[in-house]
Amino acid sequence: MSEFDSNPFADPVDVNPFQDASVTQATQGAISGIREFNPFSTTELTDSTDTTIPISSVSSQPAILQTSVEQSSQASAAAAAGQANLIKQQQELDRKAAELERKEQELQNRTAQNTGVKENNWPPLPKFSPVKPCFYQDFEQDIPEEYRKICRRMYYLWMFHSSTLFLNVLACLAYFTADAQYGVDFGLSILWFVLFTPVSFVCWYRPVYKAFRSDSSFSFFFFFFVFFFQVAVYIIQTVGIPKWGNSGWISSISMIRVNLAVAVVMMVVAGFFTVNAILGVVLLKMVHSKYRRTGASFTKAQHEFSTGVLTNRSFQSAASSAAQGAFGMN
């Protein structure tokens, strides 16, 4: 009944579960074994460990970071090398572009100069002469610098060729005075001098001059065709077949027993013919090497011939006159 006599409105008794005797003894024993720990105390650090790790022994950078730095440095070096190569290629392209522009400008200047009326200056004759110059020639204005030297050499070869033909006339004259039966050689030597001097100028020197002046494929091919036969003629003149009008080696050697002085003169001329043949072969090869560097071709030569020769009014009138004459005769 005592339970029913208690006051239900009274404060309940506070019950602390930690006030149990067994719990109190356990907690007091654990706390007494733990002393206060200060992480910033040097004593505590000394007691906690007997060995220390030196700072120098620890790597300043991780291995992964070092590898990445090396890779980045190698990539930077490769990029720098590639950029330097590109700069070098760009400089080479700029140089070639400047060279092409210079050549184009020179070609335009020569074209503009050629369109103007120029007074003929070759052969250089005095002003009082009734015969006027027939051609215009100026290496500095007409010929590009890279072809100027070879063009001058071809001009010097023509002059040497003409001088040799003149000396051939004198040698054949001496040949004729030593033996009257060789009068044919003297007459033919005069014919070769009068004929081959202007023909060689017109047929192989002027074409190579025009070829280098205007980069004409047709002029190049015409020069090669004619000058090949000219070299063959030089070889025949060097041989010196009797009664062909040439003071070559055969004719000069045959005169040694007859007249030594005449034989010596003829041998000198034979040596000149030999030099002509050698220079002809060398210069032919040099012109061909220059021709291969230009943009000339057989197709361009055909086009130049069709547009330049076939459309020429003089050629058309001559062809029509020949055709009318042929049909009129039929």
Closest Cα partner for 265 from 274, 256, 257? 256
Over range 22-30, report the average pLDDT.
56
Closest Cα partner for 273 from 251, 288, 255, 289? 251
CA 173 to chain centre: 51
Cis amide leading into 62 (omega within 30): no
- The residue written with tokens 């030597």 in the block is 189
In the chain the first and final C-alpha atoms are separated, in Å, by 171
In a domain, 107, yes or no: no
- Total structural domains in the chain? 1
In a domain, 276, yes or no: yes
CA-CA-CA-CA torsion sign (178, 183, 186, 192) = negative
The three-point CA angle 279-281-282 to 5° equals 65
User: Is 250 buried (19+), middle (13-18) or exposed (0-12) by CB count in 10 A?
Assistant: middle
Please state, in angstroms and as integers, the Cα–Cα distance from residue 85 to each residue in 72, 91, 93, 228, following that order.
Answer: 20, 10, 12, 47
pLDDT reported for residue 188? 95
Is residue 317 over pLDDT 80? no
In a domain, 153, yes or no: yes
In a domain, 278, yes or no: yes
List, for residues 219-245, the tens digit of each pLDDT value: 899 999 999 999 999 999 999 999 899
In a domain, 181, yes or no: yes
In a domain, 42, yes or no: no
In a domain, 317, yes or no: no
* Residues 269 and 164: beta-carbon distance below 8 Å: yes
- The residue written with tokens 């505590």 in the block is 44
In a domain, 100, yes or no: no
Amino acid at site 34: I
Instruction: Return d(Cα 77, Cα 38) in angstroms, integer.
Output: 53
Instruction: Return d(Cα 230, Cα 200) in angstroms, integer.
Output: 8
Residue range of the domain that includes 205: 148-309
Comparing 98 with 54, which gets the higher pLDDT? 98
Q: What is the Cβ-side half-sphere exposure of residue 147, based on CA atoms within 13 angstroms?
A: 26
What secondary structure letter does DSSP report for 8?
A: T
How many CB atoms are located within 10 Å of the residue 178 CB? 16
List, for residues 206-216, the tens digit of each pLDDT value: 999 999 998 88
* Residues 207 and 215: beta-carbon distance below 8 Å: no
Token pair for 288: 């061909």
Is residue 258 over pLDDT 70? yes
pLDDT reported for residue 222? 92
pLDDT reported for residue 320? 55
